[in-house]
Amino acid sequence: MAVTIAKERWNSKVNELVIGVEPNSVKVGGDSTLPFLFFEGEMPNRPVVALEVCDVEPDDWAKSLTDAYKGVMGDPVAWAKKCIEYGADMICLKLVSSHPDFDNASPEECAKTAKAVADAINVPLIVIGSGVEEKDAEVLPVVAGALEGKAVLLGNAAPSNYKTITAACMVNGHSIIASNPLDINIAKQLNILITEMGLPANRIAIDPLVGALGYGIEYAYSIMERARLGALTGDKMLAMPVICFVGQEAWKAKEAKAEIDETPEWGELERRAILWEAVTATTFAHASGAIMVMRHPEAVREFKRHIDKMMQPASL
């Protein structure tokens, strides 16, 4: 007996975002269907991975992470090159040193580091600030100027500082990450405000502030899915690709930190933590995540193996 597969017909699609410059640019988005449902529409670009690099050596990363980057974590250029060896599609440089409670590095110091990394790699670059919105508004415009012509993805812009960061992206040819606290209405409003300043909608990525497995991932998934459905039904202010900062969330969960003698039923710690990150990233890819910012190279390999399989359309 033949079975007729029900198919949705969408009237719009997600914007295609280009990061970097040819011949080393990366494209994300462009989908006219829900993730991996090739029988309903097109998914021209696969989800991609950016490996995270800090501009100073972190003191709170798990041993399995520091072992993977042993000898390079004190040098962001060497660290970025190691990430490329591990198969990163992009590098995500986090300017931790600019945090007022850390080194409180100047905008010029951060710009010098960012330019050194950008000049040393042959993959696109994402640059994010320390997360202190006032300081990011000071640092990121100077960084944007130093990286003019590199077409980086710059963030994170919030309602309190988006004007300064958006202007810097417009002047220097970059794209922007618009961050919101898992709120689809705030996400949409911020995108409206950014586009009203003149930055094209196809140069915006949405950061919904994701969680990790078991830590609000269902809510994050539903917000991302609602945004994708909005994009496919014609809402232009939700039609931006989604970036997910997976590594920073997955590796702070207790399941990625608890030793085996504390929770023997959970199994060996290192393998468990790697799978925690890989499955978190995989889940968000199915929710419509386009860019996964990750940490462990083995988690990246696991994630990419899954995406390889999912990008092979089944015959229906």
Q: Crossing angle for the helix pair 184-196 and 162-172, nearest 10 degrees?
A: 50
pLDDT at position 214 is: 86
pLDDT interval class at 181 (50, 70, 90): confident
Distance CA 261, CA 299 (A): 23
- Of residues 102, 101, 110, the one with CA closest to residue 140: 110
- Give the mean model confidence (pLDDT) for residues 204-219: 91
Q: What tens digit of pLDDT does each residue of 254-312 get?
A: 999 989 989 889 999 999 999 999 999 999 999 999 999 999 999 999 999 999 999 99
Token pair 């990419």: residue: 304
- Give the mean model confidence (pLDDT) for residues 36-41: 94
Higher pLDDT, 281 or 216: 281
Residues recorded for the chain: 316
- Of residues 244, 251, 309, the one with CA closest to residue 277: 251
Is there a contact between 172 and 144 (Cβ–Cβ < 8 Å)?
Answer: yes
Q: What is the pTM of this model?
A: 0.95
Q: Which long-range CB contacts under 8 A does 159-165 form with residues at least 24 apart?
A: 159/186, 159/189, 159/190, 159/193, 160/133, 160/134, 161/133, 161/134, 161/136, 161/137, 162/190, 162/193, 162/194, 163/197, 164/137, 164/140, 165/136, 165/137, 165/140, 165/141
